[in-house]
Amino acid sequence: MATVKTIAAANAPKAVGPYSQAQKVSGEAETIYVSGQLPIDPATATMAESIEAQTEQSLKNLGAILAEGGFSYDNVVKTTVLLADIKDFAAMNAVYAEFFTGEKPARMCYQVAALPMGAKVEIDCIAAK
């Protein structure tokens, strides 16, 4: 069984949001790499307007895929968040923090020129157990 340890180096900047500097996976691990999830509601094939609702839907989509693979948010060790507008960072962060309430995964977040279908956010992850 793999062990996951949160890495918090005192000689590096602390995380500026709900994530950790890094997650170390040791031992025999089962890993899932989840592709970027747009905020598309699978029941309606539509996207909400607000960054908060879009972030929530992207994370729900990730959760559904994780569950299908036998994983949960608690197994996530790394995420990447793509934003159409970095000004949405704080609003995205507030919703993101509701999904990752235990040990925080490592994370990258940056603004991109555009996202598919005019989305405001896209999120991927790597999970291990």
**Active site members:** 109
* Contact (Cβ atoms closer than 8 angstroms) between residue 84 and residue 51: no
The count of other CB atoms within 10 Å of the CB of residue 50 is 13
Residues facing residue 25 across a β-bridge? 4
Number of other residues whose CB lies within 10 A of the CB of residue 46: 10
Encoding tokens for residue 33? 């790499």
Distance, CA of 87 to CA of 76 (rounded, Å): 25
Residues 6+ apart with CB under 8 A from 97: 17, 18
| Helix (H/G/I), strand (E/B), else coil: 48 | coil
